[in-house]
Chains A and B, each alone.
Chain A
Amino acid sequence: MSVLIDKFDVFAGGFWLTLQICVLAAIGALILGAVMAVLRISPVPPLRAVGTAYVTVFRNMPLTVVMFFAAFGLPALGSNADFLRIPVLDSLFTRLGTDLPYFRFALLALVLYTAAFVCEALRSGVNAVPPGQAEAARSLGLTFGQNLRHVVLPQSWKASVVPLGSVIIAMIKNSALIGFFGVVGDLSQTADQLTSAEGYAFIPVAVGISIGYLIMTVPLGALLDRLEKRQAVAR
């Protein structure tokens, strides 16, 4: 068990890196997912088709395949995902700006994959609003924008929060995959590094890594549980 104390900084570093990529990927996926949800509920058929195609493709593909595309397909096209070196962000999250592109590839894959589920969560929220609400708003003379802002979105938001949270939890767990795609120093790669390269006993390292992930997932899950129960009462 001494490895947990001796190498505490390694575990903490891995936790920090995993947290970084999770925060970045969550922001990216929320933005892209919102855009896709808008496309999917837009009145213009071709845009709707694009949204539907995006969701179908990324929801039915394993994240592993998306990761492979990003980590091996993009270099084949001669891209290093340099467009992710966003000026202010990369001074905050130093890994974004490093020369090794794997962090950016992993981030890209996570964002693309998670956005499909974010889109579905948001869309199912809008669908959960009873049609009568929007109809009543229209008959009161509210414009489309007012209708969305004052009637539909506040209600759909309530229905979306819990699924969105579950998507984010799933994303945190999915982020364990990045260690196997060349990102050095995240929690899952730390496990590999400590056991196979530095020869520490396996069980304590596994315990440490597990605690790292559980710290992120279990409280979020408990929070969602409470939200869900409160909503059930409110309804």
Chain B
Amino acid sequence: MSQQTSVLYDVPGPRQRRITLIGSIVATVLLAVGAYFLIYRPLDDKGQFSMELWGPLVDPSHENFSQVWDRIGFGLKNTLTAAVLAIVASLVVGTLLGLLRIQLKSLTRRRFTGLATPLAYLLRGLSGTLSAVTRVCVEVFRGLPVVLTIFFVARGFPEFGISFDSLWYLVIGLTVYNSVVIAEILRSGMEGLPGGQAEAAAAIGLSPAQTTRMILLPQAFRIMLPALISQLVVVLKDTSLGFIISYEETLNIGKQLIGVLDNPIQVYVVIAALFILFNYSLSKLAQYVQRRLSRGRKSAGTSAPQPPATALVSQAEGGGGGGGN
């Protein structure tokens, strides 16, 4: 924040500090009055602060307290299971997809000299087509709302006579979308590396596959780690979409609780607080990692390649879909 103020304002002098202090007091009073009349009063008028509604959630001596939190704990466990499975699956699939796209791209540039002419043309055509197909797949799945991928998976698979638990529908739906995003993150990370890295690897005799595996991929992972962690926040948020296919995650449990306790606002406040807690700590972790990385990079004499736009963009996607680029 201090850095923020220094962009737009000079360091305040005594007069400016006085004005700021008065402004702060006035703003605090106005905000308090506003909060009282616009938020507290309407809520209080409807009796939303009564212990009857809050009791089962916050009062340990309430008869339903342990039962309610048992259910919420169950929901949290389901949410985390789905999130972890989706994250692992999309990391694996995303890495493979990113590698595939990079390899295909370099294949399309190759001319296959030394082979018979028709064979060379065939191979070039083949790699070109494959590259185009993967590109289209990436664009399509990145452009589709993740709600719909989950919905399509849950509806579409039974059409072909394949049916799983709703957990797996959720995981597959999330993986389809997030692996594409992760593939793009890794690909842009690898393409953003200095060209000298790949050239040096080629010069010491590594094959293209070895170059990717031993030189490019580790560095891409490192540079893109903050973006990848923010993507995890998105996955965690998106698991809340499981309610569409009636997977019993936190939000769905909340709905069931509301059906019994009839206190929507209170239950949602608690669930929102839980989500905010988890995601906030994850995004703090992302920031910490980014700081560590940029510190480590300085010694190499290059400025850290920053992916702030990607991080911001991927954050925006939570709860339903993804950003374009």
Residues of A within 8 A of B (CB): 40-41, 43-48, 50, 56-57, 59-66, 68-69, 72-73, 76-78, 113-114, 117, 120-121, 123-124, 126-127, 129, 131, 134, 138, 144, 147-148, 152, 162-163, 165-167, 169-177, 180, 188, 191-192, 195, 201-203, 206, 209-210, 213-214, 217-218, 220-221, 224-225, 228
Contact = CB atoms under 8 A, between A and B. Distances in A.
A217 B23 CA distance: 43
A77 B251 contact: no
Contacts of B139: 218, 221
Given A134-B8, A202-B155, A203-B159, A172 B321 contact: yes
A138 B172 CA distance: 55
29 contacts: A41-B5, A43-B9, A46-B31, A60-B279, A61-B279, A62-B237, A62-B240, A63-B320, A65-B319, A69-B265, A73-B264, A121-B312, A144-B8, A152-B7, A163-B312, A170-B316, A170-B317, A170-B321, A170-B323, A173-B146, A174-B321, A177-B241, A192-B151, A201-B159, A203-B156, A206-B152, A213-B148, A218-B324, A221-B142
Contact of B313 (A131, A134, A170): A170
From DSSP, what is the main secondary structure of chain A's interface residues?
helix
Contacts of A126: 4, 7-8
B42 interface: yes
A131 B7 contact: yes
Given A41-B8, A147-B8, A218-B143, 12 more contacts: A41-B4, A43-B12, A60-B237, A61-B237, A61-B272, A63-B320, A76-B46, A144-B8, A202-B155, A202-B156, A203-B156, A221-B139
A228 to B, nearest CB: 7
Given A41-B8, A65-B251, A68-B251, A221 B312 contact: no
Given A60-B275, A188-B145, A225 B325 contact: yes
Contacts, number: 224
Contact of A56 (B31, B276, B309, B324): B276
